[in-house]
C-alpha cells in the first residue's frame, strides 16, 4: 500500500472536513431558499472520495453521479464556485445553468455530475476509451451508486470495458439505499462487487467509513487498471447520514441504524489516527476546524452575492 | 458576533413548519454539525443541524409551536459576552423580479452561436467539379467518412457490424482494411452502452461516427443522445461539447413492418443542442456528411435504406461541403411550393412532372437537407412567391417537421397564403407488414398530386 506521509493525514482530514462543512452549509442555504431543486448531500460518505483522491494522478479523469459536491471538492475545485452553482449564479462552475446535479470542470478532468441514474457509467467507460485510444497512461474513475447497479446500461458498459480492456476503475458507492429503497429490496444478490464476474472483471468490497481501507483498495485497483489489465470494481460500503435529497426525511430507516454509523464517523477515525500518531495536536486540529468553517462560510457568502446569470445567457451554450 | 438560526425550508414546497422539539437549550455550546431541533414539515419530521458555532443565546419559539414561517429566526447563537438585539422580523428572501424577457419561444437559432456558415447551399447544376461518373449514396457516404478519417485520426467509427461484416448496408465497406480495428470498431448489440461510451469519448475530445444499424435501434440509446449528448454543453456552461455523428438508415425500408420502419426526423428535430440532417442524393450526402463530421456539436444524420442505391454525380474535392442549416431549391417554380426532405424528394420530383403535364402547375421544390436548424428564410421566400405550400415527408403526421413549417408560415407569411398549408405524411398508424397496406401507409405520388390540387383549388 501507498506509504502515507504526515501531510497526507492532514490533507485527508482537511478535505473530509471541508466536504462535511460544505454540505451542512448547503443544507442551510437550501433551508433559506437560496438553493433550489434537488440537492443530494454527501455527509457520511466523505472517506470514499477522499480515499480515492489519495491514489490518483492529476491527469486521470473522473465522472460521477448527481451526489457530486464532495467529489468536486476532493478534485480540488473551488468551494466558492461549487456553492455558486448550487445557488444558480453566474460564478458557478456551470455558470448557473447546471445546478447541484450537473457540474463539470473540463480543465480538471471532472466530467460531471450526471442526473440520470447509470448514464455516467458508459460515459466514464468512453472517457477511458479515449485515454487508451490516445495512448495515455491515465485511467477514468467512474462512480456508481448502489441504485444504478440494477440499471441495464451499467452492464453494457462493463461488457464493453472488459471486451476492449479499457482503463476504467468502477467505484460503487453503496450507501445502502437507492432513494428510499434499501439494497436488499432492489438487488438480487447483495455482493455488488461480484457483478463484474461474468465479464471477468475483478471486484472487491471495502469498508467505506474507514479512509485507510479505501486507500488500500484504491491503490491496488488503480495499479491494476493503469497497467492495462482492463476494468476493476471496488464496492465501497458507506452510509449517508442525510436523506436521499434535501426533501427526504429518511423514514425508511431507523434512528439506531443512523446512530450506529455515526459511531464510525469517517472524519473522527482520521482525527483519532492523527492524534494517536501525534501528527498534529488538538489545537492544530481546532485551527483546521476553524479555518474550514471560515472558508465555507465565505463560500456561502460568495455564492449568495454572485449575480444571477444574465438574461441573454438563456440562449448561449446550446451549440458551440 | 451572533447569528440567527432560521426556520429552514426542508422541501421545495414547504412554506412553514412546526417546532416539534428543541435538542439544545439556552447556554449550550453548539458546534457545526450538531443537531439542534426537530422540525415538522409538510411531509415529515426532520432534524436540523447547526452550521455555525457559538453559545445558544436565545430560543425564540417554544417546543410545539406551529406554523412558523420559513426563514423566520427561531434561535440565536453567538458570543455570550456580546449584546444581542433580536430583530422583530427575519430577513425575507428577495424574490427575483419577473423581468420582461423577450422569450424566443420559436425555434430560432443564432447562426453565429450555432456555428453555421452563412453561405447558400451549392447547386449541383452549377458545380464545376462535378464527377463525370455517377456513384451510389452508399459510396458517397463511405468515401466521405474515409476522407475525414484520413484527415483527422480523432475520427473513428463504431457500431454493429461496421468492421468485419463491412456494414449491415455496406456503408462502411473497406474502412476496417484501411484504418484498422482501433478506428473501426464492431460493437456488441448494445446500443445504450456503446452510445454512452461514444458520447463519453466525444466529451473527452474524440470525434466518433456512430452507426445505428437503423435508427429504430437508437430508441435503446435515446437517453444518452438527448440527456447526455445534446444537453451537456448547456449544463456545463459551455465547457464540454460533444462532437459526434449519429448516422444510419431512418424511416421505412421494404416490408420490415412496425418496429423496423419508423421515421424519427421530428423526434430529434425537437431537441435543442442537436443538429439534424437528412440527405436526399449522393451529392448532398457527401457535402452534408463532411459538415456533420467537422461540426463540434452532436449531429443526427438520417439516411434512408431505399436511397443507398441511388446513383448520381458528386463533387470529389475532399474539402467540398454543404453548410448545415441551408435548404436547397431543387427546382424553381411559381405556382406552388413543396417542402420536403430525404426520400420524399424523389417522389415530389415525380409528382411535379405530372403536375406540370396534367394540370400545368409549375412547382417549386425545396429540399430541406437540414431539419434543425431549419432554413425558414428559404421556405418563407418561396411561399411569398408561390402563395401555396404543401409539405411532404415520411413521418407520422402529429407534430411532424411539416407541422412546424406550417406554424412558421402561418405566422410569418399569413398574408401571402392563398390557401391553407397541407401536410402529406404517412398514415397515423404503426407500419403494417402487408405489401398492399405498406403502400397505403406511405405517402405516394398521388397523395402529393391531390394535395397540390387542393391548395390550387383544382377539383
Rounded Cα distance between A59 and A164, Å, is 21
What is the sign of the dihedral through the CA atoms of B206, B209, B215 and B220?
negative
Query: Rg of chain B's alpha carbons, rounded to an integer?
Result: 30
- pLDDT, residue B95, reads 47
DSSP-H helix ranges across B305-375: 344-359
B296–A163 C-beta distance less than 8 A: no
pLDDT tens digits for A44-70? 999 999 999 999 888 999 999 999 999
CA distances from B5 to A21, A32, B83, B359 (A): 16, 10, 17, 81
Q: What values do phi and psi take at A2, rounded to 5?
A: -55, 135
**Residue A193 · residue A223 · CB < 8 Å:** no
Q: What is the rounded average pLDDT of the residues A163-184? A: 96
Secondary structure of chain B: what % helix, strand, coil (to 5)?
Answer: 30, 20, 50
Taking CA–CA distances from A154, the nearest residue in chain B reads B193
Rounded Cα distance between B314 and B129, Å, is 8
Chain A residues 292-311 with a CB less than 8 Å from chain B: 293, 297, 308, 311
In chain B, residues with a C-beta closer than 8 Å to the C-beta of A110 are none
Buried b / exposed e over A208-223, threshold 16 CB at 10 Å, is bbbbbbbbbbbbbbbe
B32–A24 C-beta distance less than 8 A: yes
CB pairs under 8 A between A and B: 215
**Residue B195 · residue A122 · CB < 8 Å:** yes
Rounded Cα distance between A217 and B178, Å, is 42
For residue A83, the Cα-to-chain-centroid distance in whole angstroms is 16
Nearest-Cα distance to chain B for A3, in Å, is 32
- pLDDT, residue B32, reads 85
Best probe of the A interface among B114, B204, B228, B296, by most A CBs < 10 A, is B204
Q: What values do phi and psi take at A55, rounded to 5?
A: -115, 10
Rounded Cα distance between A277 and A271, Å, is 10
Nearest-Cα distance to chain B for A97, in Å, is 5
User: What are the boundaries of each domain within chain B?
Assistant: 3-78, 124-312, 328-455
Per CATH, B124-312 and B328-455 having the same topology is answered: yes
The answer on pLDDT for A231 being more than 90 is yes
DSSP-derived secondary structure letter, A105: B
- pLDDT, residue A39, reads 92
CA distances from A29 to B39, B57, B60, B227 (A): 16, 22, 20, 28
pLDDT tens digits for B341-390? 999 999 999 999 999 999 999 999 999 999 999 999 999 999 999 999 99
In chain B, residues with a C-beta closer than 8 Å to the C-beta of A18 are none
Taking CA–CA distances from A307, the nearest residue in chain B reads B96
**Residue A43 · residue A241 · CB < 8 Å:** yes
- pLDDT, residue B40, reads 87
CB nearest to B192's CB, from A28, A127, A156: A156
The answer on pLDDT for A86 being more than 90 is yes
B196–A122 C-beta distance less than 8 A: yes
User: What are the boundaries of each domain within chain A?
Assistant: 6-302
Mean of per-residue pLDDT scores for chain A? 95
**Residue B275 · residue B299 · CB < 8 Å:** yes
In chain B, residues with a C-beta closer than 8 Å to the C-beta of A133 are 156, 182, 201, 206
Fold adopted by B3-78: OB fold (Dihydrolipoamide Acetyltransferase, E2P) (2.40.50)
- pLDDT, residue B85, reads 54
A319–B115 C-beta distance less than 8 A: yes
- pLDDT, residue B98, reads 47
pLDDT tens digits for A114-164? 999 999 999 999 999 999 999 999 999 999 999 999 999 999 999 999 999
CB nearest to B203's CB, from A93, A111, A133: A111
Active site residues of B: 191, 260
Cell 425545396 sits at which residue?
B366
Cell 471538492 sits at which residue?
A73
Nearest-Cα distance to chain B for A199, in Å, is 13
Buried b / exposed e over B316-339, threshold 16 CB at 10 Å, is eeeebbbbbbbbbbbbebebbbbb
Q: Which of A23, A50, A19, A16 is nearest to A39 (CA)?
A: A23
Percent of chain A with pLDDT over 70: 99
Nearest-Cα distance to chain A for B320, in Å, is 22
Q: What is the rounded average pLDDT of the residues A213-233? A: 97
Rounded Cα distance between B300 and B322, Å, is 16
B240–A104 C-beta distance less than 8 A: yes
Nearest-Cα distance to chain B for A88, in Å, is 11
Torsion, Cα B285 B289 B292 B293, to 10 degrees, reads: 180
CB nearest to A122's CB, from B99, B109, B224: B224
Task: Identify the bridge partners of residue B228 per DSSP, sorted by sequence position.
Answer: none
- pLDDT, residue B89, reads 47
Length of chain B: 459
In chain A, residues with a C-beta closer than 8 Å to the C-beta of B7 are 31
Taking CA–CA distances from A132, the nearest residue in chain B reads B182
Question: Touching check for A249 and chain B: CB below 8 Å?
Answer: yes
Question: Touching check for A144 and chain B: CB below 8 Å?
Answer: no
The CATH number assigned to the domain with range A6-302 reads 3.40.50.970
- pLDDT, residue B10, reads 80
pTM to 2 decimals?
0.92
B32–A122 C-beta distance less than 8 A: no
Rounded Cα distance between A45 and A48, Å, is 6
Spans of chain B, pLDDT less than 50 = 86-95, 97-99
- pLDDT, residue A247, reads 80
Taking CA–CA distances from A292, the nearest residue in chain B reads B32
Fold adopted by B124-312: Rossmann fold (3.40.50)
The CATH number assigned to the domain with range B328-455 reads 3.40.50.920
ipTM: 0.95
Angle between helices B445-455 and B344-359 (to 10 degrees): 50
CB nearest to B203's CB, from A33, A123, A314: A123
Q: Which of B295, B112, B376 is nearest to A315 (CA)?
A: B112
- pLDDT, residue B111, reads 53
Angle between helices A211-224 and A266-276 (to 10 degrees): 100
Amino acid at each position: 500500500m501507498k506509504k502515507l506521509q504526515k501531510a497526507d493525514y492532514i490533507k485527508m482530514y482537511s478535505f473530509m472536513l471541508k466536504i462535511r462543512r460544505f454540505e451542512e452549509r448547503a443544507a442551510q442555504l437550501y433551508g433559506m431558499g437560496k438553493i433550489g431543486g434537488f440537492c443530494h448531500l454527501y455527509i457520511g460518505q466523505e472517506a470514499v472520495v477522499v480515499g480515492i483522491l489519495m491514489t490518483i494522478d492529476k491527469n486521470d479523469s473522473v465522472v460521477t453521479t448527481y451526489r457530486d459536491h464532495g467529489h468536486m471538492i476532493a478534485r480540488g475545485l473551488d468551494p466558492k464556485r461549487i456553492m455558486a452553482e448550487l445557488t444558480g449564479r453566474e460564478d458557478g462552475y456551470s455558470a448557473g445553468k447546471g445546478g447541484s446535479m450537473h457540474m463539470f470542470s473540463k480543465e480538471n478532468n471532472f466530467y460531471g455530475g450526471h442526473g440520470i441514474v447509470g448514464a455516467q457509467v458508459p460515459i466514464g467507460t468512453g472517457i477511458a476509451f479515449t485515454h487508451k485510444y490516445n495512448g495515455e497512461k491515465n485511467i477514468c474513475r467512474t462512480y456508481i451508486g448502489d441504485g444504478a447497479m440494477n440499471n441495464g446500461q451499467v452492464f453494457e458498459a462493463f461488457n464493453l470495458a472488459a471486451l476492449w480492456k479499457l482503463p476504467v476503475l468502477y467505484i460503487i458507492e453503496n450507501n445502502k439505499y437507492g432513494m428510499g429503497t434499501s439494497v436488499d429490496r432492489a438487488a438480487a444478490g447483495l455482493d455488488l462487487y461480484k457483478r463484474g464476474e461474468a465479464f471477468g472483471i475483478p471486484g472487491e468490497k471495502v469498508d467505506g467509513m474507514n479512509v485507510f481501507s479505501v486507500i488500500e483498495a484504491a491503490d491496488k485497483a488503480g495499479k491494476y487498471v493503469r497497467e492495462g489489465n482492463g476494468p476493476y470494481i471496488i464496492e465501497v460500503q458507506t452510509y449517508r447520514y442525510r436523506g436521499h435529497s434535501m426533501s427526504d426525511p429518511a423514514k425508511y430507516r431507523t434512528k439506531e441504524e443512523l446512530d450506529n454509523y455515526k459511531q464510525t464517523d469517517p472524519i473522527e477515525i482520521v482525527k483519532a489516527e492523527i492524534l494517536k500518531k501525534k501528527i498534529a495536536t488538538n489545537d492544530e486540529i481546532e485551527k483546521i476546524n476553524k479555518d474550514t468553517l471560515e472558508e465555507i462560510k465565505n463560500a456561502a457568502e460568495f455564492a449568495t452575492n454572485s449575480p444571477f446569470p444574465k438574461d441573454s445567457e438563456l440562449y448561449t451554450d446550446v451549440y458551440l | 458576533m451572533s447569528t440567527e438560526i432560521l426556520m429552514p425550508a426542508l422541501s421545495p414546497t414547504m412554506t412553514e413548519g412546526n417546532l416539534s422539539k428543541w435538542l439544545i437549550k439556552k447556554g449550550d455550546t453548539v458546534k457545526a454539525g450538531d443537531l439542534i431541533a426537530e422540525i415538522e414539515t409538510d411531509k415529515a419530521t426532520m432534524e436540523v443541524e447547526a452550521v455555525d458555532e457559538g453559545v445558544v443565546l436565545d430560543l425564540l419559539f417554544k417546543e410545539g409551536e406551529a406554523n412558523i414561517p420559513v426563514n423566520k429566526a427561531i434561535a440565536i447563537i453567538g458570543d455570550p459576552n456580546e449584546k444581542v438585539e433580536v430583530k422583530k422580523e427575519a430577513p425575507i428572501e428577495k424574490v427575483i423580479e419577473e423581468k420582461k424577457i423577450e422569450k424566443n419561444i420559436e425555434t430560432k437559432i443564432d447562426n453565429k452561436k450555432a456555428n453555421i456558415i452563412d453561405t447558400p447551399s451549392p447547386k449541383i447544376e452549377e458545380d464545376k467539379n462535378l464527377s463525370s461518373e455517377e456513384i451510389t449514396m452508399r459510396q458517397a457516404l463511405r468515401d466521405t467518412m474515409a476522407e475525414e478519417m484520413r484527415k483527422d485520426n480523432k475520427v473513428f467509427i463504431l457500431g454493429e457490424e461496421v468492421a468485419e461484416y463491412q456494414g449491415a448496408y455496406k456503408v462502411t465497406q473497406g474502412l476496417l482494411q484501411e484504418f484498422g480495428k482501433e478506428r473501426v470498431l464492431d460493437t456488441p448489440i448494445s446500443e445504450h452502452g456503446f452510445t454512452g461510451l461514444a458520447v463519453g469519448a466525444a466529451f473527452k475530445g474524440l470525434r466518433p461516427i456512430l452507426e445505428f444499424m437503423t435508427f429504430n435501434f437508437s430508441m435503446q440509446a435515446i437517453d444518452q443522445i438527448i440527456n447526455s449528448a445534446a444537453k451537456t454543453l448547456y449544463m456545463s456552461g459551455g465547457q464540454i461539447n460533444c462532437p459526434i455523428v449519429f448516422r444510419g438508415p431512418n424511416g421505412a425500408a421494404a416490408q420490415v413492418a412496425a418496429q423496423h420502419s419508423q421515421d424519427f426526423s421530428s423526434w430529434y428535430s425537437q431537441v435543442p443542442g442537436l443538429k439534424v440532417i437528412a440527405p436526399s442524393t449522393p451529392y448532398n450526402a457527401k457535402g452534408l456528411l463532411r459538415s456533420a463530421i467537422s461540426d463540434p456539436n452532436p449531429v443526427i444524420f438520417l439516411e434512408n435504406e431505399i436511397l443507398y442505391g441511388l446513383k448520381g454525380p458528386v463533387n470529389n474535392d475532399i474539402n467540398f461541403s454543404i453548410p448545415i442549416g441551408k435548404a436547397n431549391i431543387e427546382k424553381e417554380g411559381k405556382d406552388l411550393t413543396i417542402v420536403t426532405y430525404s426520400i420524399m424528394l424523389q417522389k415530389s420530383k415525380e409528382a411535379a412532372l405530372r403536375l406540370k403535364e396534367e394540370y400545368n402547375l409549375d412547382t417549386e421544390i425545396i429540399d430541406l437537407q437540414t431539419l434543425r436548424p431549419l432554413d425558414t428564410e428559404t421556405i418563407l421566400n418561396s411561399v411569398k412567391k408561390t402563395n401555396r405550400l404543401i409539405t411532404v415527408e415520411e413521418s407520422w403526421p402529429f407534430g411532424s417537421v411539416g407541422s412546424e413549417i406550417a406554424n412558421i408560415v402561418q405566422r410569418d407569411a399569413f398574408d401571402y397564403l392563398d390557401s391553407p398549408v397541407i401536410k402529406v405524411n404517412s398514415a397515423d398508424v404503426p407500419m403494417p407488414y402487408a405489401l398492399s397496406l405498406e403502400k397505403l401507409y406511405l405517402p405516394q405520388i398521388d397523395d402529393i398530386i391531390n394535395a397540390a390540387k387542393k391548395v390550387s383549388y383544382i377539383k
